[in-house]
Amino acid sequence: MNVLEVVSLEKRYKEKLAVENISFQLKSGACTALLGPNGAGKTTTLNMLAGLIKPTAGKIMTPDAPDDIREMIGYLPQYPAFFEWMTGKEYLIFSGEISGMKKGDAESRAGELITLVGLEEGKNRKVGQYSGGMKQRLGIAQALIHNPKLIILDEPVSALDPFGRREVLDLLNTLKKETTILFSTHILNDAEQICEDVLFLHEGVLIEQGAIQEVKARHHNSRLTLYFNENSNKFIPHLMEKDWIHNLIANGNQVSFEVGDLERDRARIFTLISENGWGVTKFDSGEQSLEEVFMEVMKK
């Protein structure tokens, strides 16, 4: 089941088309990363989904079709603003009340979220005394205060130090068991760690999307690499005579090449090494990372 469906969404600012005819679905209970370089249109897209700016064209649809889509969405901007003179607990209660919750319900929900995001020790401290990681966790709690079906986070870890970044990523890993998450980032490794699905945005155009493993499979590079215990030149003629080895590249003790069927041809290479008694110290047939796939897609 989908929690949100986007159809032919566009945003134009005078002569500039910031987001161009994008369509995608967000699966209920999934964590999806919106990926792209700076200026790709990520923030504009998220702002349209969150109801902060109006699309020039297209539709944003939900199964329940609430009168105001913002009722079902929690949102954390890239640079959240806080009332720094409030305590963390006071801020969450205040956020709940302006979302339409009764004070008692807001207090109860604030207590739950303080525990969930790991702010028990800091709940009675003023927000101005919080670290960057604590503020981001508080911001995520604020996005969750009204029990939304979807939370949208714009670059939630980009401004954090490594410790704060790890805290927030661990929190998102926990939260994805509870709700649907869409977050933007240009850090591909973060997306690969915690997401099931990805959207690649480039110059306002959605150029790739789907489950991470499916996206990787579509851009799979069947390249094997052998590391010899001596210069690889003497082995190259034997490899090049095989019609199933292509685009061979040699570099010192290392030689890499493409094959047609990774599983079948990996077994062939093992046989070749064994029959000839080659001194191979290392063998790589590693899967491409999401970052490698992203860079490949961006070059096209």
- Residue 187: CB atoms within 10 A of its CB come to 16
**Could you tell me the pLDDT band of residue 53, with boundaries at 50, 70 and 90?**
very high
pLDDT at 66: 65
Domain with CATH 3.40.50.300 in the chain: 2-217
Q: How many Å is the maximal CA-CA distance in the chain? A: 78
**Could you tell me the pLDDT band of residue 32, with boundaries at 50, 70 and 90?**
very high
The Cα 11–Cα 94 span in angstroms is 33
2-217 carries CATH number 3.40.50.300 = yes
In this structure, are residues 42 and 154 in contact, taking their beta carbons and an 8 Å threshold?
A: yes
The Cα 137–Cα 98 span in angstroms is 19
Chain centroid offset of residue 153 CA: 11
Q: Read off φ and ψ for residue 268, nearest 5 degrees.
A: -65, -40
- Which tokens in the block code for residue 200? 């690649």
The Cα 114–Cα 133 span in angstroms is 14
Check whether 178 has a pLDDT greater than 90: no
**Could you tell me the pLDDT band of residue 231, with boundaries at 50, 70 and 90?**
confident
Tens of pLDDT along 257-299? 888 777 788 889 899 888 888 888 888 876 667 887 888 788 7
Average pLDDT over residues 96-123: 95
The Cα 177–Cα 196 span in angstroms is 12
The Cα 156–Cα 105 span in angstroms is 27
Domain with CATH 3.30.70 in the chain: 223-299
Please tell me what DSSP assigns to residue 287. P
In this structure, are residues 74 and 114 in contact, taking their beta carbons and an 8 Å threshold?
A: no
43 or 213: which leads in pLDDT: 43
CATH class given for the domain over 223-299:
alpha beta
Beta carbons within 8 Å of 113's beta carbon, 6+ residues apart: 92, 141, 144, 145
Strand-strand pairing, 205-211 and 197-202: antiparallel
pLDDT at 69: 79
pLDDT at 65: 63
Q: Is 227 exposed, middle or buried (0-12, 13-18, 19+ CB in 10 A)?
A: middle
**Could you tell me the pLDDT band of residue 179, with boundaries at 50, 70 and 90?**
very high
Strand partners, 153: 76, 183
Q: Read off φ and ψ for residue 233, nearest 5 degrees.
A: -55, -40
pLDDT at 67: 67
Supply the mean pLDDT for the chain: 90
What CA–CA distances, in Å, run from 136 to 7, 78, 167, 213? 31, 10, 9, 29
216 or 199: which leads in pLDDT: 199
The Cα 258–Cα 261 span in angstroms is 9
Q: Is 129 exposed, middle or buried (0-12, 13-18, 19+ CB in 10 A)?
A: exposed
Task: Count how many residues are written for the chain.
Answer: 300
Average pLDDT over residues 250-255: 86
Check whether 112 has a pLDDT greater than 70: yes
Average pLDDT over residues 71-89: 94
**Could you tell me the pLDDT band of residue 254, with boundaries at 50, 70 and 90?**
confident
Average pLDDT over residues 231-237: 86
**Could you tell me the pLDDT band of residue 146, with boundaries at 50, 70 and 90?**
very high
CA angle 150, 94, 88 (to 5 degrees): 90
pLDDT at 264: 85
Average pLDDT over residues 192-203: 95
The Cα 30–Cα 170 span in angstroms is 16
pTM confidence score: 0.81
Check whether 219 has a pLDDT greater than 80: no
In this structure, are residues 157 and 191 in contact, taking their beta carbons and an 8 Å threshold?
A: no
